Structures are given as structure tokens and as C-alpha cells.
Amino acid sequence: MKEVRDNDYNLNVALYVMPVEEEEQIDIALEFSELKRLEEYISQLTQILGD
């Protein structure tokens, strides 16, 4: 009741209920393979440019 009183007795639902947001689905295997590919690319560039 204190929360309602603090909001000047405004009973607008949006003040009290957080909307459910969809979470992005992440393909861990795909992201890991992309990370490995980028690490290999960086390694090759490092060798070419000479540490």
C-alpha cells in the first residue's frame, strides 16, 4: 500500500508490473566457432606484421 500511496494512488498497471522482454537466443557453438576464427585471423595478422 505504501507504493500505491507514494505514487499518489495512481493505479496504472505500468507503474507496478514490469513487461516481460524477450531474450535474444544465442547459439553458443556458433559464437565459439566465430571467436576461434577471429583468434586465428588475429594470429595470422600478428605474424605478418611482426609482433
Q: Is residue 17 part of a domain?
A: no
Q: 4-51 pLDDT, tens per residue?
A: 788 777 777 777 787 778 889 999 999 999 999 999 999 999 999 986
pTM of the predicted protein model: 0.52
Closest by Cα among 29, 6, 25 to 16: 6
Q: Is residue 51 part of a domain?
A: yes
- Looking at the structure of the chain, the number of domains it has is 1
Q: Is residue 35 part of a domain?
A: yes
Q: Is residue 18 part of a domain?
A: no
Residue 49 is part of which domain span?
23-51
Tell me how many helices (H) and strands (E) the chain has: 2, 0
